[in-house]
Amino acid sequence: MAGAAEDQHHHVRGVVYASHNWHPFFIAGVATWALEVWEQLGFQEPDNVIVPAGSGSLVLGAHYAFTLLRNGGEIRRLPRIFAAQPEACAPIANAVEQHATGVTECHCRPTIAEGASIAAPVRGDEVVAALRDSGGGAVSLTEREIIAATLDSARQGLYIEPTSALAAAGARKLLRSGVIARSESSVLVLTGSGLKATESVSSFLSIHA
């Protein structure tokens, strides 16, 4: 995957690697989704935010936005931010689980959540730091859990791709473990339409019909 090679290309002399994940303005732009959530919640912060994570830009954007709001006195505290990754490729979740200070490149197996299959996130250490600063964490999901969340979301009228379903599967797992509670306000970020993965979703339906 491109993510595995980003750090190497960034340091080649005479080469400018224009990855959006390296660009500070990109992270500032991603932060606008969290500002919209804050506004739509009546200018209140949620208790928890659960996002699918590959490179982790959604995590960094949320942390940046909510930190600005807290420092400006608009909210009392940061929401807890949770990154959801496929178990087949979970360098961020592995680092959090192992209480590591940085992310180590992992060997990724094939996963239906292709959009989150990034073996070496270029800002991985920053992502882990942001998760910890928020009091949140990370969770890894099996392929079976991702499929179940994809189909359950479809039954509720939300046709999302498997990568987006990481957030739904992650929320379910966090609820079961008691890390988050139903009485809390939790925002799940669903990033992509199922139209992007119709062939995969169709194969799920044929198996689980």
Alpha-carbon span 67 to 80, nearest angstrom: 12
Whole-number pLDDT of residue 18: 66
Tokens 């988050």 belong to 180
Neighbouring CB atoms inside 10 A of 163's CB total: 26
Q: Give the pLDDT score at 7.
A: 46
Tell me the pLDDT tens digit for each residue of 59-81: 999 999 999 999 999 999 999 99
pLDDT per residue over 162-174, tens digit each?
999 999 999 999 9
In which band, very low, low, confident or very high, does the pLDDT at 2 lie, cut at 50, 70 and 90? very low
Q: How far apart are CA 132 and CA 135, in angstroms?
A: 5
pTM comes to 0.88
Q: What is the mean pLDDT of residues 108-135?
A: 95
More confident residue, 95 or 13: 95
Name the least confident of 20-24, 26-30, 172-176: 20-24
In a 3-state reduction of DSSP, which class is residue 51?
strand
Could you tell me where the DSSP H helices lie in 52-139?
A: 57-71, 91-97, 124-134
Q: Do the beta carbons of residue 127 and residue 92 sit within 8 Å?
A: yes
pLDDT at 88 > cutoff 80: yes
Residues in the chain: 209
CATH number of 2-208: 3.40.50.1100
Question: Which residues 6+ apart lie within 8 Å of 123 measured at CB?
Answer: 21, 22, 55, 56, 57, 60
* Structure confidence at residue 175 (pLDDT): 98
Q: What is the pLDDT at residue 199? A: 81
Enumerate the H helices of 17-116 as residue ranges. Answer: 24-40, 57-71, 91-97
